[in-house]
Amino acid sequence: MPGIHAARRDRLRAVLAAADADAALITTLVNVRYLTGLASSNAALLVAADGSPVLATDSRYALTAQRECPDLELVTTRTVETELAGLAGRRGLRRLAFEAHEMTVERRDALAADGDLALQPLGRAAEDLRMIKDEGELALLAQACAITGHAFDVVAPQIRTGMTERELAVLIERAMIDLGAEKPAFDTIVASGPNGAIPHHTPTDRGFEPGDMITVDCGARYRGYHADMTRTVVLGAPAAWQRDLYALVFAAQQAGIGAAGPDAAIADVDAAARDLIREAGHEEHFTHGLGHGVGLEIHEAPMVAPARPGRLAYRVPITVEPGVYLPGRGGVRIEDTLVVRSGAPAAAPDMLTTTTSATGRELLVL
Ligand code: ZN
Ligand code: ZN
């Protein structure tokens, strides 16, 4: 759909005009994808403030680029960014804004060696554009999330004593692929028993034991868009502390979701959940931010964390994922991907990761 990508490039041009740059050299691959539709492991895009954009990629992607981006001038080369920098110089685009957060010093030096370009940092302009999604993106994200929830519901009844963390991770990933995911959005986390105290535990050969809480953090990738969801269940009858911990984290998540309205201050959304956990005496056991944006990357703007500046907006997808981690004992995290919606007085966000199992105030007992 060239129309969408052209509109995105127009929004970038407005940033260039404000920054007094002649052109932007986009070298972050996911930003190239966002602005052109081309998914390539070697590509760059030159967007002139005034003039037609030029896409560079190598011969492995040339046919795909011609098909996906028929409206773009295409340069087929392996050295994508030096080629486009040279082209910029020849077209009189001297003030060239580049993505300093992605560029290495070595590559920057190679660009600077080429003629009399005046390089200036673009900042995270493309990332900022990506924060608010269009409805087409939200449909892809919703599909990624639906696959994720469905896969969890298929696999959860198979969890039993003796199954290992790695076995469960593979089952979930296999189910997501079977349901249409192009691949997992990230390495699936399965943390059981005491391992649940490690927020990003790598699955091991530990076998599940009766009384274990098991935290599963998984997501499908669908046409480039990433889902992110966490569920915590218990194998056999839960202890009182496990029920209480789950109820606390669930209440914190509900508070965070309730605060995630359009124009809500990001710091307030984090605080809505974190305050409940602090009041319960677990402030030091909630060791990460409340959530993050998702889209073409699994972690993208906005980061939802204490004292973060900025506000949410209509059509921004985020995760809300409070967790409490007790060293030596275990932990609970509950995470959903949702979309901030507009409305009066305040529309509830769209919940994208829905499951029929392990949803609600009560800890799911398997
Ligand atoms: Zn997650
Ligand atoms: Zn997450």
pLDDT score recorded for residue 293 = 97
The rounded Å distance from CA 241 to ligand 2 centre is 25
pLDDT score recorded for residue 51 = 87
Question: What do you get for the CA distance between the two ends of the chain, in Å?
Answer: 46
Peptide bond into 210 cis (omega under 30): no
CA-to-CA distance for 204 and 206, rounded, in angstroms? 5
**Helix 266-279 and helix 240-259, axial crossing angle in degrees, nearest 10:** 160
- Provide the residue-wise pLDDT of the chain in tens; the chain has 366 residues: 448 999 999 999 999 989 999 999 999 999 999 999 999 999 999 999 998 999 999 999 999 999 999 999 999 999 999 999 999 999 999 999 999 999 999 999 999 886 689 999 999 999 999 999 999 999 999 999 999 999 999 999 999 999 999 999 999 999 999 999 999 999 999 999 999 999 999 999 999 999 999 999 999 999 999 999 999 999 999 999 999 999 999 999 999 999 999 999 999 999 999 999 999 999 999 999 999 999 999 999 999 999 999 999 999 999 999 999 999 999 999 999 999 987 655 667 899 999 988 777 778 888
Residues in the chain: 366
Q: What is the pLDDT of residues 347-362, one digit of tens each?
A: 678 999 999 887 777 7
CA-to-CA distance for 281 and 112, rounded, in angstroms? 54
CA-to-CA distance for 363 and 27, rounded, in angstroms? 45
Which tokens hold the place of 206?
Answer: 């530990």
pLDDT score recorded for residue 332 = 97
User: Do the Cβ atoms of 219 and 238 come closer than 8 Å?
Assistant: no
Ligand sitting nearest the alpha carbon of 291: 2
SS3 content of the chain, % helix, strand, coil (to 5): 40, 20, 40
Tell me which CATH code domain 2-129 carries: 3.40.350.10
CA-to-CA distance for 272 and 270, rounded, in angstroms? 6
CA distances from 51 to 18, 73, 80, 107, 190 (A): 16, 11, 19, 25, 50
Q: Which residues surround ligand 1, an ion (CB under 5 A)?
A: 217, 228, 230, 335
Q: Pick one of 3.90.230.10, 3.20.20.60, 3.40.50.920, 3.40.50.720 as the CATH number of 135-365.
A: 3.90.230.10
Ligand sitting nearest the alpha carbon of 184: 1
Ligand sitting nearest the alpha carbon of 333: 1
Ligand sitting nearest the alpha carbon of 292: 2
pLDDT score recorded for residue 346 = 61
Residues in Cβ contact with 175 at an 8 Å cutoff, skipping those fewer than 6 apart: 150, 151, 152, 154, 155
Task: Give CA 210 to chain center in angstroms.
Answer: 34
Residue 90, SS3 per DSSP: helix
The rounded Å distance from CA 228 to ligand 1 centre is 5
CA-to-CA distance for 138 and 300, rounded, in angstroms? 15
Ligand sitting nearest the alpha carbon of 199: 1
The rounded Å distance from CA 230 to ligand 1 centre is 6
Ligand sitting nearest the alpha carbon of 187: 1
Q: What is the pLDDT of residues 287-318, one digit of tens each?
A: 999 999 999 999 999 999 999 999 999 999 99
H or E segment to which residue 241 belongs: helix 240-259
Numbered ranges of CATH 3.90.230.10 in the chain: 135-365
Numbered ranges of CATH 3.40.350.10 in the chain: 2-129
pLDDT score recorded for residue 345 = 53
Q: Which residues surround ligand 2, an ion (CB under 5 A)?
A: 228, 319
The rounded Å distance from CA 319 to ligand 2 centre is 6
